[in-house]
Structure 1
Amino acid sequence: MSQSPSKFSFQQVDVFASQPLRGNPLAVVVGADALTESEMAAFANWTNLSETTFLLQPRATDADYRVRIFTPVRELPFAGHPTLGSCHVWLASGGKPRGNEIIQECEAGLIRIRRDNDRLSFAAPDLRRAGQVEPEVLAQIIKGLHLDPGAIVHSNWVDNGPGWVAVLLRTRGEVLALRPDFAVLSGLRVGVVAPWNRAKDGQDADFEVRAFTASGFEDPVTGSLNAGVAKWLIGSGIAPSTYVASQGTVLGRAGRVHVEQVGHEIWVGGTVAACIEGYAIL
């Protein structure tokens, strides 16, 4: 850290939360241009949240702001809940978009964000890797999730930056019953999805999602995974053009991710609420 610490505006927000404190937390440092990459990485390691972001002046002429996204151990080119949470904080800090949409610059490129009342949505980025999952990877997932080989209905790479691979199961109950062996899953970011049975599961959502990270923990509500899954499920006709995904149930959360296809684009959105405001001294 620098010899003379400085104060930076700071917020911790809850993303994709249908109720207060029931989504995915994110730490956001505002006006972080003076921080070095090592200082950002050290602060993200200290917060120990799944992601911490830093708002910066844009380099791209078309962007409204730039964001760098760090996990406790590495930087990500793109992530979903940090995109929406960072945009919320940028707007709350006085940011004024130049157009009808907000343009975020990140390592993955320019991400378009739109506002719809109290909901923010991002345009799902193109998949960097899609298509068939290799047999050895499927075997690793089956072993790591303690699944019968026939339990997986479909599978697909859905990597838009973080490296997600996803599998589709038959029922929400099967998804909720999973107890992953992270040692076996090591090196993989695995998303699991299954449809809700409205007669049994209720009317609040259409799909249940769980996200198992390569770092050995379950992520509460995951925008990047849901964006990749949406491209896969809608594109293959498994999901309708508009649906709601539930995530975080096993962790005591009540995340809701709203997915909508508009033309050839898929938008992924949810609500964001500020939980902590103050200063980070770095």
Structure 2
Amino acid sequence: MIFTPGIELPFAGHPNLGSAHAWLEAGGRPKGDDIIFQCGIGLVTVARRPDLTSGAGLAFAAPVPLRRGPVDPELVGRVAESLGLSDTDIVAAEWVDNGPGWLAVLLGSAEQVLAVEPVAALIGDLKIGVVGPATDGGPTQFQVRAFFGQGGTVDEDPVTGSLNAGLGQWLIESGRAPSSYIAGQGARLGRDGRVHIERVGGQVWVAGHSVTCISGSVVL
């Protein structure tokens, strides 16, 4: 079954998983095994595969990035400055753009990621994802943060499906992450979300728990 959700971004994770959750809860049943969403980036599959996602329920197939590959060193320097870091703090940088325009940087540790204090005036209109490996043996293997620059201000997203999709493809394919891991995101915002990443064959799946927060009906 194909849906066309009304979205402003070419691709985002929450609208796909949330819409699938709401539709299934309302009694919707796909004709096949999966639900297919038509997004700006193309068709995105949402699967009911808790076996792939540590019981998280719904997972979407990470789309092929619109832009990938290394970031120009001059831009890496600008990104480091905008995050309050030095060039040597950044282990690697990669374009992981699947619609929103994500540029990702890898730091040496999850602690470094949590300590980042972005400089709003320097970010400009960049969309920057920051990721670092956890070493404490806790429930998450990576810590992620997502920053949106706009008009001299910067916002941080608590949990970002599109960014984690791109990060999962980059980190797994480059050997920097195992084929299955859990990322934490939102801790600095008091949200502490969990994103489940798993590659099966050549496909990276991104999953998280979906819950109903509000429901209602329309009387015509």
> TM-score, structure 1 length as denominator?
0.72
Query: Is the alpha carbon distance of 1:279 and 1:181 closer, same or farther for their aligned partners in structure 2, counting shifts above 3 Å?
Result: farther
Q: Does 1:106 align with 2:39?
A: yes
1:193 partner SS: strand
Summarize the alignment of residues 239-258 of structure 1 with structure 2, pairs less than 5 Å apart. 239-258=177-196
Q: Does 1:167 align with 2:105?
A: yes
Select 1:149's aligned residue among 83, 87, 97: 87
Which residue of 2 is the match for residue 182 of structure 1?
120
CA contact (8 A) 1:248 1:255 kept: yes
CA contact (8 A) 1:64 1:98 kept: no
- Report the Cα offset of residue 161 of structure 1: 0.7
**CA-to-partner distance for each residue in 1:240-260, whole Å, 9 max, x for gaps?**
000000000000012100001
CA distance in 2, matches of 1:191, 1:175: 10
CA distance in 1, matches of 2:98, 2:117: 26
**CA-to-partner distance for each residue in 1:20-40, whole Å, 9 max, x for gaps?**
xxxxxxxxxxxxxxxxxxxxx
CA distance in 2, matches of 1:95, 1:279: 16
2:121 partner SS: helix
How many residues align structurally?
Answer: 211
Specify every segment of 5 or more residues in structure 1 that has no aligned partner in the other structure, as ranges. Answer: 1-62, 70-74
In structure 2, give the amino acid aligned to 1:260. E
Moved over 2 A (4+): 278-281
CA distance in 2, matches of 1:170, 1:225: 19
Give the number of the structure whose alpha-carbon radius of gyration is greater.
1
Higher relative contact order (CA 8 A, sep 6+): 1
**CA-to-partner distance for each residue in 1:109-135, whole Å, 9 max, x for gaps?**
111111134511000000110011012
What is the Cα-based RMSD across aligned positions, in Å?
Answer: 1.5
CA contact (8 A) 1:164 1:190 kept: yes
Q: Does 1:126 align with 2:64?
A: yes
CA distance in 2, matches of 1:275, 1:225: 24
- Report the Cα offset of residue 279 of structure 1: 5.3
- Report the Cα offset of residue 280 of structure 1: 7.9
- Report the Cα offset of residue 94 of structure 1: 2.4
Which residue of 2 is the match for residue 50 of structure 1?
none
Summarize the alignment of residues 227-246 of structure 1 with structure 2, pairs less than 5 Å apart. 227-246=165-184
CA distance in 2, matches of 1:197, 1:280: 49
Which residue of 2 is the match for residue 51 of structure 1?
none
In structure 1, give the amino acid aligned to 2:144. V
Select 1:265's aligned residue among 203, 211, 217: 203
CA distance in 1, matches of 2:40, 2:94: 24
Which residue of 2 is the match for residue 210 of structure 1?
145
CA distance in 2, matches of 1:125, 1:82: 14
In structure 2, give the amino acid aligned to 1:100. D
Which residue of 2 is the match for residue 82 of structure 1?
15
